[in-house]
Every structure is written in structure tokens, then in C-alpha cells.
Amino acid sequence: MLKENYKAHAAANRFNLSALPACGAKTRSGGLCKHKGNLGNGRCKRHGGASTGPTHQAFGKSHHRYIHGLRTKETIKMQKLLSEMTKSLKDLVQLA
């Protein structure tokens, strides 16, 4: 299917699954695949009609494996030290 005909075909047959083209990919037995293909490239999900992956690479905080470091041993020690210092300062203020 030509690209200029794609938009008109997609608009006209949006929910008409019987109008989808056959995949037509060559199988191991030598025949053609009989599954329904996508409108975009004409292939079924088994032969290249599925997603091609993410469109952009995620970095930093938007990455799914981002580690913030709020619960490291060093941070926990610093939090305990800070709480001890604030407690001692409160005691000094009460004595004065």
C-alpha cells in the first residue's frame, strides 16, 4: 500500500478488521502468512508489525532504574548525626 493511500484507507477502515491486508510474509514452509497485517507496513505482529521500541532514550530521573541515594549507609549516618546535633542544641537552648 502506498503512503499517500494509507491515511485515506486508515480513516475509512478504522474499525473494519476484515478490510486489513493479509501479512504476506514468507513462512518456513514456503507459503505466505495468512494473518491480518497492520495498515502501516502490511505485516502482522509476528513479522514486523509490533512496536519498534521506545522513541527516545531516558536519562537521569526519568530512567526506570534511577537510584536516588536517599537510603545509603552514609546518608543514614548523616541523618542520625544531624538529629543528635539538633537534640543537643535544643538542650542548650533550654538550659539558657
For residue 3, what is the DSSP state?
A: H
Select from 91, 92, 1, 90 the least CA-distant residue to 41.
1
CA-CA-CA-CA torsion sign (70, 73, 77, 78): negative
The pLDDT score that the predictor gives to residue 19 is: 76
DSSP run (H or E) holding 79:
helix 73-95
Cα gap 10→4, rounded to integer Å: 11
Interval 8-17: pLDDT, tens: 666 666 667 7
The pLDDT score that the predictor gives to residue 90 is: 94
Q: Lowest mean pLDDT of 30-34, 42-46, 49-53, 67-71, name the range.
A: 49-53
Cα gap 61→59, rounded to integer Å: 7
Whether the model pTM is above 0.75: no
Percent of the chain topping pLDDT 70:
78
**What cell does 27 get?**
513462512
- Does pLDDT of 4 surpass 80? no
